Structure 1
Amino acid sequence: MKLLVLGGTHHVGRAMVETALERGDEVTTLNRGLSRPPAPGVRALIADRTDAAAATAALAGREWDAVIDTWAWAPRVVRDSARLLDGRTGHYGYVSSRGVHRWPWPACADESAPLVDGDPGSDDSADYAAAKRGGELAVIDTYGEQALLARAGMVLGPYEDVGRVPWWLRRLEKGDRVLAPGPADAFVQYIDVRDMAAWMLQCAERGTGGTYTVTGRPGVVTIGQFLETALEVTGFDAELVWAAEDLLDREGVWLGMEFGLRFPHEPAPTGMHDADVHAVFAAGMTTRPLRDTLAATWAWLQAEGDPAPRPDAPSPDTWLDPAAERRVLDQL
Structure 2
Amino acid sequence: MQRICVIGGSRYFGKLLVRHLKAAGHQVTVINRGSTVPPAGVEHLVADRNDEAALTAALGSRTFDVVVDQVCYTPVQAAIAARAFAGRARRYVMTSTIEVYDPATAALPVVPAGTPVPEDIVDPATWPVAMDLPWHDDAYLEAHYAEGKRQAEAVFTRAGGFEFAGVRSAHVLGGGAQEFTGRMAYYAGRISRGEEITVHAEALPTVFIHHEELAELLLWVTTADFTGPVNACSDGPLDVYGLATIIATQVGREAVYRTVPAGEEASAFSFDRHYAMSNARAKQLGFPFSRTVDWLPGAVVEALTTESSATP
TM above 0.5, yes or no, is: yes
Q: Give the match for residue 227 of structure 1.
A: 244
Name the CA distance, whole Å, in 2 between partners of 1:306 and 1:106. Answer: 43
Using the aligned pairs only, state the percent identity. 22
| Contact map agreement 2:194 2:256 (CA 8 A) in 1 | no
Q: 154, 158, 166: which one pairs with 2:185?
A: 166
CA apart distance, 1:114? 4.9
Name which of structure 1's ranges 297-306 and 4-13 shifts more when overlaid on structure 2: 297-306
Structure 1-normalised TM-score? 0.73
Q: Give the match for residue 298 of structure 2.
A: 295
| Contact map agreement 1:192 1:287 (CA 8 A) in 2 | no
Structure 1 26/99 Cα, relative in aligned 2: closer, same or farther at 3 Å?
Answer: same
1:143-174 deviations in whole A, cap 9, x for unaligned?
A: 4771001122323233332232122233244x
CA apart distance, 1:198? 1.7
CA apart distance, 1:37? 3.3
Name the CA distance, whole Å, in 1 between partners of 2:65 and 2:249. Answer: 42
| Contact map agreement 2:188 2:304 (CA 8 A) in 1 | no
Aligned length: 289
Q: How does 1:1-332 map to 2 (within 5 A)?
A: 1-34=2-35, 36-101=36-101, 102-103=106-107, 106-107=111-112, 108=115, 109-114=117-122, 117-119=128-130, 124=135, 126=140, 127-143=144-160, 146-158=163-175, 159-173=178-192, 175-176=193-194, 178-179=196-197, 181=199, 187-218=205-236, 220-233=237-250, 236-243=251-258, 247-249=259-261, 254-256=265-267, 258-259=268-269, 261-262=270-271, 268-269=272-273, 271-273=274-276, 275-290=277-292, 291-296=294-299, 298-299=301-302, 302=305
SS in 2 for 1:151: strand
SS in 1 for 2:149: helix
CA apart distance, 1:197? 2.5
1:302-330 deviations in whole A, cap 9, x for unaligned?
A: 569999xxxxxxxxxxxxxxxxxxxxxxx
| Contact map agreement 1:155 1:191 (CA 8 A) in 2 | yes
Task: Kindly report the root-mean-square deviation, in angstroms, between the aligned alpha carbons of the 2 structures.
Answer: 3.4
| Contact map agreement 1:119 1:137 (CA 8 A) in 2 | no
CA apart distance, 1:195? 1.9
Q: Which runs of 5+ in 2 are unaligned?
A: none
Q: Which runs of 5+ in 1 are unaligned?
A: 263-267, 308-332
1:11-46 deviations in whole A, cap 9, x for unaligned?
A: 342232233234333321100122x33234322211
Structure 2-normalised TM-score? 0.77
| Contact map agreement 2:185 2:303 (CA 8 A) in 1 | no
| Contact map agreement 1:214 1:280 (CA 8 A) in 2 | yes
| Contact map agreement 1:187 1:222 (CA 8 A) in 2 | yes
1:202-246 deviations in whole A, cap 9, x for unaligned?
A: 12213322222222345x54544433333455xx34321345xxx
